[in-house]
Amino acid sequence: MGILIENNTCILDYAAEQRDGSGVVASGTDVKLKVYNITQEKWWTGAVWGTETELTGTATAAGAWHYSFAIPDGDEGDFIQVVWYDETDGTVIQSDVWRICNESDMILKTLTDLTNAIEGIGSGKNVVTITLNDGDGNPVPGAFCVVRNVAESVEFGYDTTDVDGECEFQFDNGSYYVRFGAGLSEGGMGHGYQFDNPYSLTVSDTTAKTFTCTAVAAPAAGLTFAQLKDQLNVIALTMLGEQRKYVSPAALSQWVNSGYQEIDRKLRWTRCTYDLETVTDHDTYIVPSSVREYLEVRYTDDADQVRALEPMSLREMIAKQRSSTNSGDPHYYAHHGDRLYLYPAPDTGGEGLRIYIVGEPPDLSDAADTPGFPAHLHELIVDQALVYLCRHFGQLDQAMKQDAYIESKLATERVEPAVERTGPQRIQNDGF
């Protein structure tokens, strides 16, 4: 972890040369760069912090590239993550974390360190081990730890707790304040733990100090989006060690949402209805492309008689249309992509069609969002997201074992009494 000085320009060298498929050096190919403000949860657009933006570098010599990052004024203390990734497949090539500091504070800290060293009291001669746990003795990894003087005007060190919930520093004898914060999951760690900041630390020779925080229980509706990402982040820290820095916050969000979609699909859980009205002599109707499966199509005629239409393949539908294109009361339907086909084409408009479907749930986006299926299955989202993480880092055997575990857990949930249950935990969306 390094230091960036606000209101200055930092040269960010690309992790690899940019070349197109012919080997010719070209801007905007192969390697891309993004800069993420972990503290503000925003991306550098090239001028301000805002939406996610790809940053194109400038050529230097011998095929090398760099990006000139104009560090804005007023962002002192923010943690910045710089991610270099393959433009073609999105693979992260390198990821570094820095902190923005004020230039005057850096000068003051340097002078203070030099003065203390001369006086023999500021050489940081003591090994200080700080441990963070959840109050029950369980370590809390992935949380930022910042140590300052008691007035909190000078920063002496910062780090991220490891898999054992520990950070190690070199401090002199004296009194300090310690603060813990968000961690490496887009600020989500704050939703999983509550900290009693600031904590008091007294250093006298070699010092080991344990601080506790409070784990926030999952709500009655299950795990939130933030907590799902936190769990995946902790597993990533445990599994990957130093390689964890190659996992961006965006990747955590993507893997969690993909895991949510896949578990929902395997359960066929998001069952909804979609309503249409017939149009005279029209046999083709547009339906949402997110529909995964048609369970039944119900037709209501002008006499309010309701009947289920018979499903048929697209090939069978085309064969029937060859024999007759006359309009009438529909008796059959075919589903192809985002189209519903009726046969025969309705001879009366304004009659009702209700489609019973298996759809896709909306992505989780806000920190407090919770998945739509029952809370006891939310852990499987993290398990499924872990499959993607293992594949991303080439751990294919582990990914296969994880897939098998998920299938075993879902087996009992696929029986009809489980998936047909109703109530507040079932997604209801009559308008889709």
Q: What is the pLDDT of residue 21?
A: 41
Asked if pLDDT for residue 325 goes beyond 50, the answer is: yes
Give span(s): CATH 2.60.40.10, the chain.
103-215
Per residue in 372-403, pLDDT (tens digit) is: 888 888 989 999 999 999 999 888 888 898 88
**More confidently predicted of 96 and 317:** 317
The 10 Å Cβ neighbour count of residue 423 is 7
Q: What is the pLDDT of residue 110?
A: 46
Asked if pLDDT for residue 106 goes beyond 60, the answer is: no
Q: DSSP assignment of 413-425, as one string?
A: GGSHHHHT--STT
Asked if pLDDT for residue 254 goes beyond 70, the answer is: yes
Per residue in 348-379, pLDDT (tens digit) is: 988 989 988 888 888 898 888 888 888 888 98
Q: Which two tokens stand for residue 46?
A: 């090239």
Per residue in 139-155, pLDDT (tens digit) is: 888 777 888 888 888 87
Asked if pLDDT for residue 132 goes beyond 80, the answer is: yes
Mean pLDDT of 291-306: 85
- What is the number of helices (H) and of strands (E) in the chain? 8, 26
How far, in Å, CA of 225 to CA of 80, rounded? 22
Mean pLDDT of 159-174: 87
How far, in Å, CA of 299 to CA of 237, rounded? 54
Sheet (strand 339-343) strand order: 284-286, 339-343, 332-336, 310-311
Q: What topology does CATH give the domain 2-100?
A: Immunoglobulin-like (2.60.40)
List the one residue out of 41, 286, 345 whose CA is nearest residue 182: 41
Mean pLDDT of 62-82: 79
Q: What is the pLDDT of residue 206?
A: 92
How far, in Å, CA of 87 to CA of 209, rounded? 45
Per residue in 29-60, pLDDT (tens digit) is: 567 788 888 888 888 998 899 988 888 777 66
How far, in Å, CA of 54 to CA of 45, rounded? 8
Query: For domain 103-215, is the CATH number 2.60.40.10?
Result: yes
Asked if pLDDT for residue 123 goes beyond 60, the answer is: no
Q: Are 33 and 83 in contact (CB under 8 A)?
A: yes
**More confidently predicted of 424 and 217:** 217
Q: What is the CA radius of gyration of the chain?
A: 29
Torsion sign (Cα): 391, 393, 395, 401: negative
How far, in Å, CA of 393 to CA of 190, rounded? 27
How far, in Å, CA of 111 to CA of 242, rounded? 33
The 10 Å Cβ neighbour count of residue 418 is 14
How far, in Å, CA of 422 to CA of 432, rounded? 17
Split at pLDDT 50, 70, 90, the class of 221 is low
How far, in Å, CA of 301 to CA of 346, rounded? 10
**More confidently predicted of 429 and 164:** 164
Split at pLDDT 50, 70, 90, the class of 119 is very low
List the one residue out of 287, 406, 391 whose CA is nearest residue 337: 287
How far, in Å, CA of 146 to CA of 263, rounded? 38
**More confidently predicted of 241 and 397:** 397
Give the three-class secondary structure for 181. Answer: strand
* DSSP state, residue 220: T
Sheet (strand 155-160) strand order: 155-160, 144-149, 174-181, 199-203
Mean pLDDT of 251-266: 91
How far, in Å, CA of 60 to CA of 33, rounded? 16
Give the three-class secondary structure for 229. Answer: helix
